[in-house]
């Protein structure tokens, strides 16, 4: 899958399927996106191939006093991906894909702050805060993330 920012300055290609897809309803994601939730594709940074400009890192304040590194196009400033603590995994913003409809969330998280009018399908796991990776991630994705740590 390929995607990019609004002006075309940043273009990327994902060289494999993501590890897992989060739909996050936390207040940080709502504020950062100006929307009701964010859909993030978690994928190894090495599998995000940059085809044009490199985005710039911006450390964005979070409610807990920490910061989150968000990568933006230096021209139009659209955020294309972020990272949470570890630089070897990217959280690619699904809305920046050329075909965002190809992606559906594997899990909904931080539903404690979900807006009431978003209704989660019964078939998709949903958690008030977070979840146990070992219980939710497919075995192949757990193996991929373990390979990063080695
Ligand atoms: Zn741009
Ligand atoms: Zn969030």
What does the pLDDT look like over 59-98, one tens digit per residue? 999 999 999 999 999 999 999 999 998 999 999 999 999 9
pLDDT for res 20: 98
Q: Which residues pair with 72 in a beta bridge?
A: 56, 79
Identify the nearest ligand to the CA of 73 by its number: 1
**Residue 25: φ, ψ to 5°:** -105, 20
Q: Rounded to two decimals, what is the model's pTM? A: 0.96
pLDDT for res 128: 98
Identify the nearest ligand to the CA of 55 by its number: 1
95 three-class SS = helix
Q: Give me the sign of the Cα torsion angle 38, 41, 42, 46.
A: negative
pLDDT of residue 150 exceeding 90, the answer is: no
Tell me the pLDDT tens digit for each residue of 27-48.
999 999 999 999 999 999 999 9
DSSP at 112:
G
pLDDT for res 85: 84
- Residues within 5 A (CB) of ion ligand 1: 5, 7, 9, 73, 75-76
Identify the nearest ligand to the CA of 9 by its number: 1
pLDDT for res 149: 86
Query: How confident is the prediction for the chain on average, in pLDDT?
Result: 97
**Residue 56: φ, ψ to 5°:** -100, 145
How far does residue 117's CA lie from ligand 2's centre (Å)?
A: 18
Identify the nearest ligand to the CA of 74 by its number: 1
């Amino acid at each position: 899958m390929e995607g990019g920012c609004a002006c075309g300055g940043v273009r990327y290609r994902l060289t494999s399927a993501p590890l897992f897809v989060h739909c996050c309803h936390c207040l940080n994601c709502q504020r950062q996106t100006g929307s009701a939730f964010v859909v993030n594709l978690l994928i190894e940074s090495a599998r995000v191939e940059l085809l044009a400009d490199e985005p710039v890192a911006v450390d964005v304040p979070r409610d807990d006093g920490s910061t989150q590194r968000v990568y933006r196009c230096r021209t139009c400033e659209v955020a294309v991906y972020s990272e949470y603590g570890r630089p070897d995994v990217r959280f690619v913003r699904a809305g920046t894909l050329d075909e965002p409809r190809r992606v559906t969330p594997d899990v909904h998280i931080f539903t404690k702050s979900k807006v009431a009018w978003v209704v989660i399908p019964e078939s998709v796991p949903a958690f008030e805060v977070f979840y146990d990776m070992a219980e939710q991630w497919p075995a192949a994705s757990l193996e991929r993330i373990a390979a990063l740590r080695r």
